[in-house]
Amino acid sequence: MTQPLEGKIALVTGSSRGLGRSHAVVLAEHGADVIVHDILLEEAENTLEMVRQTGREARLITTDIRDVGAFQKAVRDAGRVDILVNNAGVGGNRLAIEDVDCNIFDQMFSTHVRGTFFATQAVVAQMKERRAGKIVNISSIYAMGGSHFASHYSAAKSAISGLTKCWAREFAPWRINVNAVAPGFVATESRRASVSVEQIRERAEGMPLGRLCEPIDISHAVAWLAGPETDMMTGQVVSPNAGEVIVGY
């Protein structure tokens, strides 16, 4: 049976661990060959091996996404990209506005916003030539309702949601779909390591669905938006969040 992404090549930025690694593996399980990207070489190579274990081909880019010229050259040298997942990002670290200095603010925007912008710029010309492409940006539930102690992070993710809608309109004549996934609270390995079991349990019990999102829940949404079932969807922000948006966050 043909897999939905058979014959496609996906580039997942920031895919050495966490959600990015999950996206890369799930896209491979759906039939895509994957270009793994990250500056964390050892962990990126682990993702590479996990992709190959699915039977799909995998290649690696290790250029810093904040070095626009070098990163775009690496992407062009990698060849065809049918699916771009703009996942690369950094955490917000729960900082009050008084504690956000220029370096923290600039790092947030250079990774999330500038990275997303120029990664897309690097692949869109070839997508236009083929008159086909899927771009999936990673936003956040914080872009939907904000968050105290994360205004710099929420602002960066809100910018990504805005870019999604702008590019959906701009690229539509070339049949390039641009959508975003805005995850809620996800029980990644790093998050489980940073909070107590009791905190995780309490957070899960507060969700209408009674559990937290796992990385694969987010990756299924990414793979869906990258596939043929969503050819008529563009400019949308999909939020897998266990119903958290219903009760507030």
In total, how many domains does the chain have?
1
What the block records as the tokens of 139 is 């936003």
**Mind listing the pLDDT tens digit for each residue in 80-119?**
999 999 999 998 778 999 999 999 999 999 999 999 999 9
Mean confidence (pLDDT) of the chain? 93
Domain at 135, CATH number: 3.40.50.720
- Structural domain contains residue 154: yes
**Mind listing the pLDDT tens digit for each residue in 130-172?**
999 999 999 999 998 888 888 999 999 999 999 999 999 999 9
**Mind listing the pLDDT tens digit for each residue in 69-85?**
999 999 999 999 999 99
Place of tokens 């914080």: 142
CB proximity list for 234: less than 8 A, separation 6 or greater: 168, 172, 177, 178, 179
Selecting among 13, 15, 89, 153, the annotated active-site residue is: 153
- Structural domain contains residue 245: no
Which range among 14-18, 177-181, 200-204 shows the weakest confidence by mean pLDDT? 200-204
Place of tokens 């990250």: 38
Domain membership of residue 150 as a residue range: 9-187+214-240
- Structural domain contains residue 90: yes
- Structural domain contains residue 18: yes
- Structural domain contains residue 247: no
| Predicted pLDDT of residue 249 | 46
- Structural domain contains residue 198: no
Q: Please report which helix (H) or strand (E) contains residue 157, including its range.
A: helix 151-171
Positive or negative, the CA dihedral 92, 88, 71, 225 is negative
- Structural domain contains residue 196: no
User: For 39-137, where are the alpha helices, taking DSSP H only?
Assistant: 41-53, 68-78, 102-109, 115-130
- Structural domain contains residue 206: no
**Mind listing the pLDDT tens digit for each residue in 186-218?**
887 766 665 677 878 888 888 889 888 999 999
**Is 153 assigned a catalytic role?**
yes
Distance of alpha carbon 234 from alpha carbon 124, whole angstroms: 15
Q: What is the pTM of this model?
A: 0.94
